[in-house]
Chains A and B, each alone.
Chain A
């Protein structure tokens, strides 16, 4: 293999240890004198805690300590990291003290010598609850809210008013919108009947925030001119991330140093350190070290600060002994943040020619019982801004109510807001095409943003930098042989064979940026990433990254990036991540940001190293700096092939410092903090071909074709792997997954026997292809790929099923498209 592996499917460097059973996951760790925590959780969705009697548990042999909410009441609440004007943030106690607000809320913790004993002792804790009425249903939760009435009265026509709309830069537009939003006041009029159930008394109508984006007047005007309006009510189902590794945390307090080390399943150890030290535990940031070793998948669920890791840190300090907690799977369903869970009313206005004039969306977003870290950003900035999809929509207005219910908190799960937006837009596109009696492909094409329109300012603040949407769609159509497939579909219908073809032409925004903008929008985090490139005296290199790998393959791709910059073979790189004491500050891995943002930081730092190395090499070669280049891994003087210095020569001299150019400091390392100037905009066309069993309603996916443009590919093998996983995730949401509650707030999908993840036999092999439009504003041209599949697939699958059911007159079905739901739709048509 040549020296430069960038762009090749280099086999993963992390795999040898993982395929031989030598992964280093948190629960694998053992420390001397280690204890184990078991967390007792509320079986009720909403209840007052009358008393917690721990006496019997404390006496149980092998129990070290039992703690309740009274013990931890001095700790800060778990933080929400993104504010909105008027945001109501109820305190999220580390251990519930007076009230529990969802099934799974921690009420006590047992620390014992082993896991079995800890579990046994939990059965000996007597908790007396006074059960309160619970509010579970999203729409019922906001009854009485003035904006909820907007949703109810969706049929009403709005007053058209002429309104000049100027496109303004992203931040300014959103800020203007927000300025027009008056923080909502509690309704004063008492509704007749029983007192409404409130999750938290301070949040009237269970509403944590109201948020809007886009130009309402302009949108209303567009609708007034519409030849046709397509309306759709969409429920985006609540899902669970279900990384196969359950969350785990091991805290060890060092009495002599008065410092804590926490190993945990984290996607972003620095965020965990910052928030836990500054906001929750109240210990100096430098006294907490967070290490995220091998992490067995995240999908968003390992971003947030949870009760559990705080508890082990606090308990370890109390006891002076290491404390480990590992989630049981049953526990994971009731303690990991859930995802999605929207109810939206959407309307699409079109003119007589089938051109889209406007889009109006009203969304209720379930936030669960507490506001977790990104909970308030997901259904707003990661959702409303994506509602233009790949389309030229002149006017959009979207209003979102963030709603509290007695359910597990809802936050980011793979895609986070963007799958919800894409599903809504793509279902709406298919529905409109059906109503207008045009082919869904043609309807999309007619409304695509065209290549000559970039940069394209959407009506919801984003500025798309580049794209060619027809190109991905053309390729997808060619791969599935669209015309032939439509003929087969028509033939099949004559014989009771129901095949459907579903499209999802999606766009996503990755690598949330820049920091100044997100700060202006309420984020409590920066969105840059760090890297440190350190060349050692022998010319091998440590690369430290603030991004964290939990399956994405950074050990490989980051080495490929740095190797290309420096002309040093990949095997001479260590990629180091996941340890707050080893790294510069970093924001971690989520939102498909690692390659685009973290990778750009590595490029920047590596270029600084290279510049210095060339200066030094020129000095050693007694050549002009401008004449020295790195070629074939060596520093060469252009035109003088006999004169060369190796990386060893240069790196060694940088460290010996016996002969440096005047003014040059010793050493050969640089760090970089890369703050992107814009989001990146991957896009693509996904096509799902499915068959519905007319007898049972079962859906079988026959083919799944995806043509994606994720920009430049560092490692095509890894890119495809990310797409495969995302597509499977999206198919799971579309067909199988639902974290359902009953009306009492009991989680019905509380084990892997109930919550259906896609299995190998449920899925086909995927057919992938690509176009490559490099990102124009970062040094690698990479856009991001981790979430694309999960964003695109649900709509492609749902559109294919609804298409299959067209002969039955079915216009829409909510996910998951379970056999019974599909069967019922067919029955109702009969």
Chain B
């Protein structure tokens, strides 16, 4: 219940935060605190210093808004509640945000904090993979863009360098005849995803699938694409039979196992949730 001692500094801008990070390489950033503080209260994390970025008054960092090209800009400090209620937010992302934790947690937790923490059972990673999101980060040497596919590297591990800050997440326009969805089996106690599957589908004018991106979180040590399912959908009309066949395709997942769910059950859930999310997409495209 009681975090260990740390120094605290508030950063009022991204630049200030970066400067503090370079002075204090062991420091952790805190925004909503809903990934970090529970770990600190159990003393699973004992950072010597926290840099508070929650009050950075920067448009991009706080945005949930459409971009000029019809895509979506989500600032790292956007809370789950804001994303869940945001206009112009892809349906999969909106759904995932609305299913995180509970109302109070959604009011505080931020997408930047969540993805930087990279809990293998967090909801966003699957969605960002499915949407092909770009993660815009800034570091001492300037800004760079990391594709979601390259961002989540392992259990609690990302491509983010210790001296970098997530600034925003950008999602390209979905285009016409496109839809996304997210389906989740929450842990009954924590609410984290035992498995969660996000899908983003675009179709040709003849209604055959032109792009299929399907990703799972919770089931494995890191969120990952279900490429066998994606391949099974490509070029085919999106209908119940094709969805069923694609969802049941073996993705050779190396699933986690715990008291609540075995690896086999997680793999099974991944298939069922893929089917459910694809079915939602089908409904939304009609």
- A touches B (Cβ under 8 A): yes
Docked-complex contact B269 and A749, CB < 8 angstroms = no
CA distance A824 to B43 in the complex (A): 37
A491 interface contact, C-beta 8 A: no
Residues of B within 8 A of A740 (CB): 259
Within 8 A of A (CB), among B242-269: 258-262, 265, 268-269
Residues of A within 8 A of B87 (CB): none
Docked-complex contact A328 and B1, CB < 8 angstroms = yes
A-binding segment of B23-31, B70-78, B141-149, B185-193: B185-193
CA distance A115 to B4 in the complex (A): 11
Residues of B within 8 A of A698 (CB): 185
Docked-complex contact B190 and A749, CB < 8 angstroms = no
Docked-complex contact B190 and A754, CB < 8 angstroms = yes
With both beta carbons as reference points, the residue of chain A lying nearest to B43 in the complex is identified as A123
CA distance A456 to B192 in the complex (A): 52
Docked-complex contact A752 and B259, CB < 8 angstroms = no
B2 interface contact, C-beta 8 A: yes
Question: In the complex, which range does the number of interface residues on chain A fall in?
Answer: 20 to 34
With both beta carbons as reference points, the residue of chain B lying nearest to A327 in the complex is identified as B1
Docked-complex contact A820 and B260, CB < 8 angstroms = yes
CA distance A438 to B110 in the complex (A): 57
B272 interface contact, C-beta 8 A: yes
Residues of B within 8 A of A754 (CB): 189-190, 259
CA distance A736 to B259 in the complex (A): 12
Looking at the assembled complex, report how far the CB atom of B193 sits from the nearest CB atom of chain A, in whole angstroms: 13
Residues of A within 8 A of B188 (CB): 736, 756, 759, 762
Docked-complex contact B268 and A818, CB < 8 angstroms = no
Residues of A within 8 A of B104 (CB): none
Docked-complex contact A753 and B260, CB < 8 angstroms = no
Within 8 A of B (CB), among A723-744: 736, 738, 740
Docked-complex contact B259 and A748, CB < 8 angstroms = yes
CA distance A738 to B187 in the complex (A): 14
CA distance A120 to B6 in the complex (A): 12
- Chain A 799-830, CB-CB to B under 8 Å as 1, else 0, gives 00000000000000000001110011000000
With both beta carbons as reference points, the residue of chain A lying nearest to B273 in the complex is identified as A696
Residues of A within 8 A of B286 (CB): none
With both beta carbons as reference points, the residue of chain B lying nearest to A120 in the complex is identified as B4
Residues of B within 8 A of A116 (CB): 2
Within 8 A of A (CB), among B165-192: 185, 187-190, 192
Residues of A within 8 A of B5 (CB): 120
B42 interface contact, C-beta 8 A: yes
Docked-complex contact A820 and B261, CB < 8 angstroms = yes
With both beta carbons as reference points, the residue of chain A lying nearest to B185 in the complex is identified as A696
Docked-complex contact B259 and A823, CB < 8 angstroms = no
Looking at the assembled complex, report how far the CB atom of A698 sits from the nearest CB atom of chain B, in whole angstroms: 8
Docked-complex contact B269 and A115, CB < 8 angstroms = no
Looking at the assembled complex, report how far the CB atom of A185 sits from the nearest CB atom of chain B, in whole angstroms: 38
A695 interface contact, C-beta 8 A: yes
Docked-complex contact B189 and A755, CB < 8 angstroms = yes
The residue that A749 contacts in the complex, of B259, B262, B268, with Cβ under 8 A, is B259
CA distance A119 to B187 in the complex (A): 30
Residues of B within 8 A of A759 (CB): 188
Looking at the assembled complex, report how far the CB atom of A26 sits from the nearest CB atom of chain B, in whole angstroms: 16
Docked-complex contact A753 and B190, CB < 8 angstroms = yes
- Chain A 746-766, CB-CB to B under 8 Å as 1, else 0, gives 001101111111010010000
Q: Could you list which residues of chain B lie within 8 angstroms of chain A, going by C-beta atoms?
A: 1-2, 4-5, 38, 42-43, 185, 187-190, 192, 258-262, 265, 268-269, 272
Q: Could you list 28 A-B pairs, sorted by A, with CB under 8 Å? A: A115-B2, A119-B1, A120-B4, A123-B4, A329-B1, A330-B1, A696-B185, A696-B272, A698-B185, A736-B189, A748-B259, A751-B42, A752-B189, A753-B38, A753-B189, A754-B189, A755-B189, A756-B188, A756-B189, A759-B188, A762-B188, A818-B260, A819-B261, A820-B261, A820-B262, A823-B265, A823-B268, A824-B265
Top 9 closest pairs, chain A to chain B, by CB:
A756-B188, A756-B189, A753-B190, A119-B2, A820-B265, A328-B1, A748-B259, A116-B2, A695-B272
Q: Could you list which residues of chain A lie within 8 angstroms of chain B, going by C-beta atoms?
A: 115-116, 119-120, 123, 328-330, 695-696, 698, 736, 738, 740, 748-749, 751-757, 759, 762, 818-820, 823-824
